[in-house]
Every structure is written in C-alpha cells, then in structure tokens.
Structure 1
Amino acid sequence: MSERYRTFVPVPPAERDELRRRAVRVLVVGRSAAGEEVLLFEDTDPGVPGVSWWMTPGGGIDPGESELEAAVRELAEETGLVVTADRLVGPVARREVVHGYSDQVVIQTESFWLLELDRFQVDIAGHTEEEQLTIQQHRWWPLAELATTTAWIWPAELVPLVEAGRAGGAVVELGRQEESTVPVEVPTGYDALVLAGGRARRLDGASKPEVELRGRRLVDHVLGAVTGADAAVVVAPETLVLPEGVRRTLESPPSGGPVAGLVAGLAALADGRTPGQVTVVLGCDAPFVAGALPRLLAALAADPQLDGAVLADTDGRRQWLSAAYRTEALRRALGSSDGRDAAARAVLGGLRLHVEPARGLEAVDLDTWDDIRAVQS
C-alpha cells in the first residue's frame, strides 16, 4: 500500500518537492448487459478546488514487489477485486509520467496492464486515508463513450491502450507525458503584465493584491503563475511591495481602469528592452489561473493567425484579463489613447481569439470578501 506523501497545502510551483517512484496502472474492462465498460475513479487535487479527472486503478510499487504483483495488490486495495496474476495481460504500455500537483511533483515510471472480466461490485474499503480524501467517486464508463467524452481522462490514450492489449504484440512506448493540475513544464518566452491597481470598492477599500489567500498574497499567487516570463511588470502603486526583479508602473493619473493599466504596462515592458512577441495579461484577483496558462500559450503558438487566447469562465464569458496576446496585436487594439475608463471588451473584442474553457476555479476572480471566504480553505 502506497505511503501518504502529499501535504495538500499549496506552495509556489517552483518550490514544490519532487517525488520519484515506480507504479502500475490497470485497465479494467467489465462486461455487462450494457456492453463493455471501463472502471475509472474520479480524483482531485485539494489545492486546486473544482478540478477533477478520471483515472484507472493503480499505484506505487512497494519494495521487493514485481510490477505484476503490485498490479494484483493495487486491484485488491482499490477495488476489492482479488485475482490471480495470470488474469492480467501485459505490460500493454510503458511511460514516464509527470504529475504536477498544488503541493508537490510526482514523477513515476508506469506500466499498464489489461484485465477483462464480468462487471463486478466495487469495494473501496481498502482505500488509503489520502484516497478517501481525494477520490470522489467511481464509475463504469462505456468504452465507446470514452472515445468522445470531453472529461479529463488520465491517460488520454486509454481506449487505444485497451485495443493494443487485446491485439497483443510489442509494448506501446508512450514516452514522457505530463498530467498536472499545476503544470511542471513551465512555459517560457513571453512577457507578463499583472494588473494590481484599482479601488477595490467591494473589498471596503482594502488593497486587493495584498489580501491573503491560503497564506499568500493574491499578487504572489498570480506572479507564481508567470515564473517563466522573460520580464514581468505589475501595474500597482508604490505602496505594494513586489519581489525583486519585477517591474512596476502605474497609469497617470491613477485609477484609470484596466485598459489604462494595459497601456502603462506595455510601455514599462518596452522600457530599455525589446518586448516579447507574446504578453500574458493577468489580474491580481485570479489566483488559480496557473493551470490554464500553458493551454493559452499552446493555443496561441498553434495558430499564427490568432491575436490571442483568452480564458472563458463556466458560463462562457471571456476573461480579458486572463489571456495571452501577441504583443503587436495588443498594441494595435489599444491604439494611441491612454485607455482611461475604456472597457476591456470594447477594446479587445475585435481581436482574433482562441477561447479556452476554464477548468475548476481557473477563471474565478475574487471581488468581494464572500468570494475570498468561499475559496479560503
């Protein structure tokens, strides 16, 4: 049985501890009157509320165990099913997978095994304390549905792996993959512009970037998401203490709104240097945006015709201040005005944009004390 290794206390992405281990996963295909179904568990990362994914049974290999012995044991512990080793087919596939969680990074070499049998009643009495906390439910997924679902499935190649196991032949080598709630492969090659001004009227005039959430200031949560930036600027008053190396600017006169902040921020990023081709724009009140940033940058890189990639909340509303823009396109959209009191949607709405759906709380912004209390734990 794998040992508990997670603290569930979020830390800055670059400061996460790293754990390496060997592990096994089992592709459990059950037959019933409904057809062929795959057993999956819905797992979560307590440090990234609202995000979940579906995974196969499996876990770490204990000292002295073979891969096959570990697969048999993990099946018994996680599903209550006891089988003999000869029932499992494999290994079907191998990979090195990187799991970036909110509290640490797990890097493991994995082998996949296939088990086909009649559908059975799952018993989770053997789950560890950690599994009881993170795993929300289990489900027998129709095999055909897994090929088309938009749910987050780990691994994404689950259906082809079942087919490969049935076909026999050579082990499928999946190489190195990443499955993360807070990415490990930090994107680089962009500038970052963080808006941290404003009056925060609904926070009774408090300095919003300095409001603490889970032991860190909101501005530090957001700056932690852009550690791969070539340069970063925060649009904020002098009273806000910033980490070393982060530029500061402020629109003049202050409190000119987000578009005025964008104008001032772009000018500061170009001061004494050649600005990057891409500028990531974030508000200081979006502390959970880190997981979305690699997807925004990847979408922008994949299509040279795009002017930007913007995050959308669960209602489909575009979050103009959680986005990655081509710097020149952003400059053209802002024009020659100072942007004072202009609406971001009116200025940026004409750009050619990829709209990226948010996962969990990625698009949540914190405007009131009730908003902050709701995500504090």
Structure 2
Amino acid sequence: MTHPASPPPGRYRTFRPVPPLERPTLHRQAVRVLLVGHGPEGEQVLLFEDTDPGVPGVSWWMTPGGGVDPGESELQAAVRELAEETGLVVAAEQLVGPVARREVVHGYSDQVITQSESFWLLELDRFEVDVAGHTEEEQLTIQQHRWWPLAELETTAALIWPAELVELVRAGRAGGPARELGRQEESTLPVAVPRGFDACVLAGGRARRLGGASKPDVEVRGRRLLDHVLGAVAGASATVVVAPDSVAVPDRVVRVSERPAGGGPVAGAVAGLAALAEGRTPEPVTALLACDSPFLATAVPRLLAALQADPEAAGAVLTDADGRPQWLSGFYRTNALRAALAGTDGRDRAVRSVLGGLPLLTVPAVGLEAVDLDTWDQVSALHP
C-alpha cells in the first residue's frame, strides 16, 4: 500500500501525468513480503499486477508491501501490509528476514518515489486472497492478483519487480545476513531525463477526421496532446513546434509554420530543422515527432539508447503492434535527416518516401507508445 510521510485527507495522488522534469519526489521507508504458498500445484508466489494510469498499456507484477508508518518497525509494517493487502493475519515471528535490502527509485508519470526497502519471506499453505482492504488508489491501479508458480517466474516475459524475486526466496530459505542489492530503478517513466538532442514536433495538419479541430489542443487525460509530447522530450536542448499561430506553446519552445503552409509533415520537418539551426549549432540527434502520439515518453530512452549503440544507423523509430515503422516517432542523426530533406520544400511529400530509404533501427513499442489519435472515437477510448 502507498503511505506518504504526511498523508493529506483522501487520495493524495492525482494520477495526472506531468512533465518528467516537474514530477514531485516522495522519500520513504518501505517493506516487501515474498509470500510463498504451498499446495497441490506446488510452490507459488503471490503477486499483484499494478499499473500507472499515465502510461496506459503497461503493467508489472509486484509483491505485497508498502510504506512504513511513523512509529512502526519494519516487521510491524510487513504484518500490517499483509493484512491490508491480502486479508492474511500472521504473527511477526512467522516472517523470515530481512532477506535483502536496497535503495529503489520508482519513476511514474505523476511522481517519483525513492525508498529504502527491506524484503521479508513468509511461507505457508496457499489461501484465498481478500483485497477488501485495498485503498482507493490500489483499487484504481491494481488489476488482479495471481499465485505464480515459482519455476514460471524464472522464464516469464512479464515484468516482475523485483527482478531477483526467485533468488531472494532462495536466499531467505538459506538464511544468513540480508543481501545488499544496492540502488535500483523500477520505473514506468525513467527518472533520468535523456539529453543531448533537439526536438521537432509536427503539430499542423487539417485533422479532417477530427472535424477540423486543432489536433494539438485536443485533451487526453487532462493534458493537450501537444503537452504530452513536449513532456516526453523535456530534456531536449532546443525544441521547435511546427504549428499555426493559434496553437499556444511554452516560452522555451519556438513555433514555426511549414513552408508552404498546409504543405504536410515533410514540409513541416523542413521548416523545423531550419529553425533548429538558426543562430546555433544543432545537436547531433534530432527527435522528429507527431503531436498526436501522447504516450511516447517511455520510449524516448530506448530510442536514444538504440541509436547510440549503433553508429552506422541514421535513426531509430518505433514500430507498432504490426511491425510498421512509425517515421514520426523517431530519433535521427541530424546530418542524415538534413540530407534526406535537402533539395525539397516537402510539399505534399509522403514521409515514407523521404525517410524510408535511411538505414534505420526499429524499436518495438510497449503498451500504447505507438498509438496515434486521428478520430474522436480514438480520443474517447483513452479517457478513464
């Protein structure tokens, strides 16, 4: 369960995504319980599937546990958390540990939690889990619980936090001092904001399937589409938005129009790159993004890492669930991008015809990272 140091009345998280650099940080002490159930099916570990409402389509599995309340010992907190999250009441002496300790940082779309964490082991007969004690927050984010076969946890592709869960169960059974896991990160939106790149966000177009509405100003989950994308590239050295004058942009962002106006995304990219080079030396990498993909933030570190790992590649782009490259969800070497756009004003050119010939890396999207919103039905489907 989540217990802030000084909890305000009611639910204290809004779950409204904020720009990565503006996320508030909470520090706390916490406990986790490795709960192993024995039964006819063999050894199984109880885990909860949790989510971050600001990063739809992504989930992970975690152990019971949460923050240590003022005046509690770690062991008392572990006993209380078990009762609240699973309905199980046990005596403190039934828990073994601490099995391990670590410093962990959780970067979510709305906040960052850093905590000193201890792990405890409890083995008993499998029981029926009672989630009636879950808080309002947990009812919102936790999707289900499951008794996972211990052996399956070693081979599953699902995201398990902590990754060393099976090792820690074995360590707890072996006894000895607590393992020191050091500092780790388990984030839906990484805490370290990538830097060393420029960003060009294309926010023009006629939005015919939106009835001519200003697409960058359409709101999804409390923020404009444009603001979602600008938040994803908050670490950019310089950012240009290609959009009509009617679209408001933050003070730190330059707005330009494609030449000719209404000339399409390639014309927008030409104008954006020219603006990024005006009066300065551009960064060696440029993000080229469309404003209608609001969940790109978690993909940014992976795209940059892929490009940095292969000096021969001209860029790295997301691919959707069908494996199709998303040319406007990518990071490109600036020189390669400028060369591809040279000699054209971009008017009515297809993006694929300009960028498809570059030697590009493809990075599979996770969750809804590659989604783009072209209709009101698509927008409505994303509202909780």
Q: Could you state the TM-score of these two structures normalised by the residue count of structure 2? A: 0.90
Unaligned segments of structure 2, at least 5 residues? none
Specify the SS of the correspondent of 1:193: strand
Separation in 1, partners of 2:187, 2:327? 24
| 1:226-265 to 2 correspondences below 5 Å | 226-265=233-272
Specify the SS of the correspondent of 2:182: strand
Matched with 1:359 is 366
Unaligned segments of structure 1, at least 5 residues? none
Superposition deviation, residue 87 in structure 1: 2.7
Percent identical among aligned pairs is 75
1:372 aligned partner, one-letter code:
V
Separation in 2, partners of 1:347, 1:17? 41
Matched with 2:24 is 17
Superposition deviation, residue 46 in structure 1: 2.5
1:248 aligned partner, one-letter code:
R
1:237-266 CA-partner distances (Å, limit 9, x unpaired) = 233222112122333212222222222222
Using a 3 Å threshold, how does the CA distance of structure 1 residues 346 and 37 change in structure 2: closer, same or farther?
farther
Superposition deviation, residue 195 in structure 1: 0.5
Matched with 2:323 is 316
Kindly indicate whether residue 124 of structure 2 is the aligned counterpart of residue 92 of structure 1. Answer: no
2:117 aligned partner, one-letter code:
E
Using a 3 Å threshold, how does the CA distance of structure 1 residues 55 and 203 change in structure 2: closer, same or farther?
same
Using a 3 Å threshold, how does the CA distance of structure 1 residues 30 and 266 change in structure 2: closer, same or farther?
same
Separation in 2, partners of 1:255, 1:190? 27
Q: Which among 46, 53, 57 is matched to residue 39 of structure 1? A: 46
Q: Could you state the TM-score of these two structures normalised by the residue count of structure 1? A: 0.92
1:295 aligned partner, one-letter code:
R
Superposition deviation, residue 32 in structure 1: 3.0
Kindly indicate whether residue 353 of structure 2 is the aligned counterpart of residue 368 of structure 1. Answer: no
Separation in 2, partners of 1:325, 1:165? 47
Separation in 2, partners of 1:303, 1:57? 40
Matched with 1:70 is 77
| 1:161-176 to 2 correspondences below 5 Å | 161-176=168-183
Specify the SS of the correspondent of 2:151: helix
Separation in 2, partners of 1:328, 1:199? 29
Superposition deviation, residue 170 in structure 1: 4.0
Separation in 2, partners of 1:23, 1:253? 57
Matched with 1:189 is 196
Matched with 1:61 is 68
Q: Which among 134, 137, 143 is matched to residue 150 of structure 2? A: 143
Matched with 2:129 is 122
Separation in 2, partners of 1:317, 1:259? 19
Matched with 1:179 is 186
Separation in 2, partners of 1:353, 1:292? 16
Specify the SS of the correspondent of 2:204: coil
Specify the SS of the correspondent of 2:181: strand
* Root mean square deviation of aligned Cα: 2.1
Point out the more displaced range, 338-347 or 281-290. Answer: 338-347
| 1:337-356 to 2 correspondences below 5 Å | 337-356=344-363
Using a 3 Å threshold, how does the CA distance of structure 1 residues 58 and 148 change in structure 2: closer, same or farther?
same
Point out the more displaced range, 227-236 or 108-117. Answer: 108-117
Separation in 1, partners of 2:285, 2:41? 50
Superposition deviation, residue 127 in structure 1: 1.6
Moved over 4 A (4+): none
| 1:196-215 to 2 correspondences below 5 Å | 196-215=203-222
Superposition deviation, residue 335 in structure 1: 4.4
Using a 3 Å threshold, how does the CA distance of structure 1 residues 143 and 247 change in structure 2: closer, same or farther?
same
Matched with 2:88 is 81
